[in-house]
């Protein structure tokens, strides 16, 4: 299993809207596409954090973003974000 930590900073005042759209549209699609999802968590400084896992994370992620289902998510919840950081995690 490969894992990735995803850290997002929402634009001021937009964290709740992003979290709601993520829960309603992104999370169900990710799970339907075979991803394991841990979280999400939020912090006081408008951060949204989650961990995503898959046996072949990079290929599955590329397939997810190229899918018609992902393309149909409109408007894109990412419009609420000011910053994104994705970190691949390796077991030690």
CATH code at position 83? 3.30.70.100
Structural domain count of the chain: 1
Q: Which residue reads 């900073």 in tokens?
A: 9
Contact call for residues 50 and 39 (beta carbons, < 8 A): yes
| Domain membership of residue 75 as a residue range | 2-89
> Which residues are registered as beta bridge partners of 88?
4
Contact call for residues 53 and 2 (beta carbons, < 8 A): yes
pTM listed for this prediction: 0.92
Q: Using alpha carbons, list the distances in angstroms from residue 81 to 1, 41, 54, 85.
A: 28, 15, 24, 11
pLDDT tens profile 30-80: 999 999 999 999 998 999 999 999 999 999 999 999 999 999 999 999 999
Instruction: Return the H-helix or E-strand segment holding 26.
Output: none
pLDDT score for 89: 96
């Amino acid at each position: 299993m490969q894992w990735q930590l995803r850290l997002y900073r929402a634009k001021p005042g937009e964290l709740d809207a992003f979290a709601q759209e993520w829960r309603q549209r992104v999370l169900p699609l990710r799970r339907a596409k075979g991803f394991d999802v841990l979280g999400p968590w939020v912090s006081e400084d408008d951060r949204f954090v989650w961990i995503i896992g898959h046996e072949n994370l990079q290929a599955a992620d590329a397939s997810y973003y190229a899918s018609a289902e992902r393309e149909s998510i409109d408007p894109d919840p990412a419009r609420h974000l000011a910053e994104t950081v994705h970190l691949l995690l390796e077991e030690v």
